[in-house]
């Protein structure tokens, strides 16, 4: 199975990198850019045969290590490779 | 007093900390490799600065799972003194021994320079040699020192007098301009509620000898040594 994990900054947490990218887009002339938030994308290959089996494990991985619950949210999808 | 300096792969201020406690303050000191699963008997543990595990994922995130951290947690809950400096502070945050998290500096730049701190609390084992309002000059050297915590916890930090240092200007005023990294309320250092664990971004071990031109960092180590003596 393949878990695609997205770690993003929580709402309300200032994102200085996102702001820098936003300003850069604006200076390129994209004047409709309202906001940019940067996050992390991870792919974790897993030796499970069913998505349902691996879901609680991936959740645990996110809680324990992959995301910092103080500043980050996470979501993921699990598919066949 | 006996100090243990925890060494993670990527720690790079471990020798500075060891040198200061051992040679400047003439205390017992030992390095403790992160793979150790047993802690000898220490009075104070120092988690030094550096880039444990290359800061991969998030600063301090992987160091949190080093075998020694289980013992560090036990030492903390037994009331042992723990000082986390820079990356050591980040490890303490990731480990939940201190509240909050570090974000990338507001300027998106690595900042390495001397600046001023205002001492906010003198009723801790780490600051008892100073007085509230004292100004200390210390260097910072970090990429992720933009302290963040949720509003409720921030309120608790203020109410429980857990904010020990704030960035200030050369007049001692805590201003937005004096904030190098965007940290909430100019926070440079905090302690836990029980006051036996402190984390700070500035580096006292880099300014504790006259030969280095600045001895303001001595206050931290002298306070700890005083506190250690009282405990005994």
Q: Look up the CATH number of the domain holding residue A8.
A: 3.30.1280.10
Domain extent at residue A16:
2-79
Integer-rounded Cα Rg, in Å, for chain B is 16
Question: d(Cα A62, Cα A2) in Å, to the nearest integer?
Answer: 15
Average pLDDT, chain A: 94
- Amino acid A33: pLDDT: 97
The answer to whether B137 contacts chain A (CB < 8 Å) is no
Reported as a single tens digit per residue, the pLDDT across B30-50 is 999 999 999 989 999 999 999
Cβ–Cβ below 8 Å for B61 and A20: no
Tokens standing for B43?
A: 């009075």
What's the token pair of residue B61?
């995130």
Q: Chain B closest CA to A79's CA: distance in Å?
A: 23
**What is the reported pLDDT for B231?**
56
Q: Which of B60, B148, B185 is best to mutate for the A interface (most A CBs within 10 A)? A: B148
Q: Which residue do the tokens 């200076």 mark?
A: A27
pLDDT of B228 above 90: no
Total number of domains in chain A: 1
A33 alpha-carbon distance from chain centroid: 20
CA distances from B6 to A7, A71, B47, B82 (A): 30, 26, 5, 11
**Residue B4, pLDDT score:** 97
Mean local confidence (pLDDT), B103-121: 97
Q: ipTM of this model?
A: 0.84
d(C-alpha B29, C-alpha B32), whole Å: 10
Predicted local confidence at residue B99, as pLDDT: 98
Q: Which of A1-10, A45-54, B123-132, B191-200 has the lowest mean pLDDT?
A: A45-54
Burial class (CB in 10 A: 0-12, 13-18, 19+), A10: middle
Could you give the CA distance from residue B200 to residue A79 in angstroms, rounded to a whole number? Answer: 43
Chain A residue at shortest CA distance from B105: A16
Pairing of strands B44-47, B2-7: parallel
Query: Domain spans of chain B?
Result: 2-231
pLDDT at position B181: 97
What does the alpha-carbon distance between residue B132 and residue B111 come to, in Å, rounded to a whole number?
26
Cross-strand bridge partners of residue A7: A40, A74
Residue B232 has pLDDT above 50, yes or no: no
B146-163 pLDDT, tens digit per residue, is: 999 999 999 999 999 999
Q: Locate B76 and state its tokens.
A: 């903390």
Q: In this complex, which of B65, B107, B148 lies closest to A71 when CB atoms are compared?
A: B148
**Count helices and strands in chain B by DSSP H and E runs:** 5, 11
Contact (Cβ atoms closer than 8 angstroms) between residue B207 and residue B138: yes
**DSSP string across B96-152:** TSSS-EEE--TTSS-EEEEEEEEE---SSTTTTTS-TT-EEEEEEEES--EEE--HH
For the record, the structure tokens of B128 come out as: 């008892």
Kindly give, in sequence order, each residue whose CB lies less than 8 Å from that of residue A72, ignoring residues fewer than 6 positions away: A7, A8, A9, A10
Q: B61 and A70: CB-CB below 8 Å? A: no
Asked if the C-beta of B56 comes within 8 angstroms of chain A's C-beta atoms, the answer is no
- What distance in Å separates the CA atoms of residue A20 and residue B129, rounded to the nearest whole number? 42
B230 has a pLDDT exceeding 70: no
pLDDT of B3 > 90? The answer is yes
Q: Does the distance separating the beta carbons of B101 and A71 come in below 8 Å?
A: yes
Which CATH class for the B2-231 domain?
alpha beta
């Amino acid at each position: 199975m393949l878990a695609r994990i997205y770690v993003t900054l929580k709402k309300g947490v200032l994102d200085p990198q996102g702001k820098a990218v936003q300003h850069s887009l604006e200076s390129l002339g994209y004047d409709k850019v309202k906001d940019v938030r940067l996050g992390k994308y991870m792919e974790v290959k897993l030796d499970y045969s069913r998505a349902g089996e691996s879901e609680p494990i991936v959740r645990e991985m996110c809680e324990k290590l992959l995301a910092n619950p103080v500043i980050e949210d996470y979501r993921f999808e699990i598919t066949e490779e | 007093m006996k100090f243990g300096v925890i060494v993670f792969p990527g720690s790079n201020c471990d020798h500075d900390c060891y040198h200061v406690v051992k040679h400047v303050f003439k205390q017992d000191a030992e390095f403790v490799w992160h793979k150790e699963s047993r802690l000898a008997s220490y009075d104070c543990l120092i988690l030094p600065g550096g880039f444990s595990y290359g800061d991969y994922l998030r600063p301090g995130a992987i160091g949190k799972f080093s075998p020694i951290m289980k013992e560090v947690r036990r030492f903390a809950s037994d009331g042992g003194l723990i000082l986390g400096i820079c990356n050591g502070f980040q490890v303490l945050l990731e480990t939940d021994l201190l509240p909050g998290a570090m974000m990338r500096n507001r300027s998106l730049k690595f900042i390495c320079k001397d600046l001023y701190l205002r001492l906010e609390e003198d009723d801790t084992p780490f600051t008892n040699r100073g007085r509230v309002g004292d100004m200390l000059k210390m260097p910072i050297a970090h990429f992720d020192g933009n302290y963040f915590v949720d509003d409720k916890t921030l309120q608790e930090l203020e109410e429980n007098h857990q904010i020990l240092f704030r960035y200030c200007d050369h007049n001692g005023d805590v201003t937005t301009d004096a904030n190098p990294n965007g940290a909430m309320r100019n926070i440079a250092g905090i302690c836990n509620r029980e006051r036996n664990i402190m984390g700070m971004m500035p580096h006292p071990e880099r300014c504790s000898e006259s030969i280095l031109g600045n001895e303001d960092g001595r206050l931290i180590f002298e306070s700890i040594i005083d506190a250690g003596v009282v405990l005994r």
